[in-house]
Amino acid sequence: MNIKRIAIVGGGTAGWLAANHLGAALSANKDVSITLIESPDVPTIGVGEGTVPAIRDSLKKFGIRETDFIRECDATFKHGIKFINWLDKYKHGENNYYYHPFDYPFPFGDDLAPYWLHSKAETHYADVVSAQARLCEAGLAPKKISTPEYQGEATYAYHLNATKFAKLLSKHAASKFSVQHLFANVTNIKCSDDGYITALVTKELGELEFDFYIDATGFASYILGEKLNIPFIDKSDQLFIDSALVVQVPTEENTDIPPYTLSTAHQAGWIWDIALPERRGVGFVYSSKHLGENEARQKFSKYLKEPGNGLSFKKIPMKVGHRSVFWHKNCVAIGLSQGFVEPLEATAILQADYAAKMLSEQFPRVKKDIDSLAQRYNRALTYSWERVCDFIKMHYCISNRSDSDFWTDNRRPETMSEHLGQQLEHWRRFSPKAQDFFSKFEVFDVENFLYVLYGMNFPTTKPALSAGYQERAKAQIKQLHQHSQHLMNELPRHRSLIEKIQKYGLQNI
């Protein structure tokens, strides 16, 4: 049986990313049709504005111009994440911070972590290996108006308006890949004896038959989770965050737009703060076991410098974990329907994009292809989800904050995976290297771990340094410093570049 008719259920970011990835991969085949069905009643999650550099490759692949994307989605640039107060303020100061930027931390090929371990008291690790943290502190954009689309002087991603992003993706999918767009509420599914879905039952359009189904229904995981009963693997024993209070705060004209995501830790979680040109998206995430809702609202108000008790904040409960499989017979879940972790490292759009891309690159042509493809897919993505959980967990368990149970509980060995525990033990004695990462599906690799471990002052034993290495390291640090200076002089202020892009656009060459 040929797989020709593909349905995507759900019109949020994940659904439309899937539509474009599948469209780009399959549109050469005139037999294949893609239909996205979204509910006219169920809202999208309404938050989710941080991305990682891989999104640029996807947008480029789809054929969307960076100029159009920035203009239509209120996008701003993101160099990385600034983590504030993740370390004990008595030891490291009030508002202590470190950066996790996107630039690869081996600017001249050498690993400078061993060198930094000898001098760490003086400089932030990120400043030794990249110019990006300095660019962030100076409020500079990662490129100029004359830099071609999707290229930059520093590695970057975006902050964006999720609703507008879905709209742009949907417009593009329709015009470029002939994706059909229907509005209907799915009330049930019909399956054949072998457990394959044969049709969607909808309230407004009756039964709709397809050959393959993408579940992009968000937290509900309506098809994979609810109807096909694929179990959810709960990770709340490792990751305690289970609630979010969210709000949008208008910004004044002509104020600076931080070119990075802020993540400010508090006694039971942390606060995200993402700036778009006209407003900030801010979210207070916390563990309800460690902080009550009223107190959370008060603390959030305090952060926002708003009077009152924060009654206007929207509360979103968050179940942390992921499905035991993501591809079951002729159904694949993409996005929040696959799983969720707190957005500490902007993983929601990252995982949706990654999963959609992976599916589109080896999409079954006939029913017989499904078993082996699904097996590979599930294995790769399960591994990636586990590693994502580990990376997020690491931010907590290497902190030395002890001002609340939330922080001390997070360091209890039984709350981290065995894999993470072993990695951390190893890294006490040896700094992270590429060989510590076993798979292509790590999501976060040596460069990310280096930034977070050493941003948080992790105590790795100082290795002996050869004279040759020290000379090279000194020369490279000096060269990087000069390069930083050059960039500091060349690059425009963030808001100024966004305004110019609105006015003049970017060239694609």
Interface residues with another protein (CB under 8 A) are 144-147, 500, 503-509
* CA distances for 24 relative to 148, 162, 179, 364, 451, angstroms: 23, 21, 11, 15, 34
* CA distances for 153 relative to 82, 105, 131, 147, angstroms: 19, 15, 10, 8
Give whichever of 466 and 507 is closer to another protein, judged by the CB atom.
Answer: 507
Q: Identify the CA nearest to 359 among candidates 25, 33, 29, 10.
A: 25
Spatial neighbors of 270 by CB under 8 A, at least 6 apart, are 86, 263, 264, 285, 344
Nearest-approach distance from CB 504 to another protein, in angstroms: 4
Give whichever of 147 and 248 is closer to another protein, judged by the CB atom.
Answer: 147
Give whichever of 35 and 147 is closer to another protein, judged by the CB atom.
Answer: 147
The neighbouring-strand residues paired with 101 are: 80
Give whichever of 104 and 504 is closer to another protein, judged by the CB atom.
Answer: 504
Nearest-approach distance from CB 58 to another protein, in angstroms: 21
Nearest-approach distance from CB 277 to another protein, in angstroms: 19
Q: How far apart are CA 159 and CA 153, in angstroms?
A: 18
Nearest-approach distance from CB 63 to another protein, in angstroms: 13
Nearest-approach distance from CB 507 to another protein, in angstroms: 6
Torsion, Cα 474 103 358 239, to 10 degrees, reads: 100
Give whichever of 53 and 505 is closer to another protein, judged by the CB atom.
Answer: 505
Phi-psi region of 78 (alpha: psi -120 to 50; beta: other; left: phi over 0): beta
Q: What angle do CA 294, 232, 261 make, to 5 degrees?
A: 50
Nearest-approach distance from CB 192 to another protein, in angstroms: 47
Q: How far is CA 486 from the centre of its chain?
A: 30
Nearest-approach distance from CB 46 to another protein, in angstroms: 34
Q: How far apart are CA 138 and CA 213, in angstroms?
A: 47
Give whichever of 40 and 148 is closer to another protein, judged by the CB atom.
Answer: 148
Give whichever of 402 and 507 is closer to another protein, judged by the CB atom.
Answer: 507
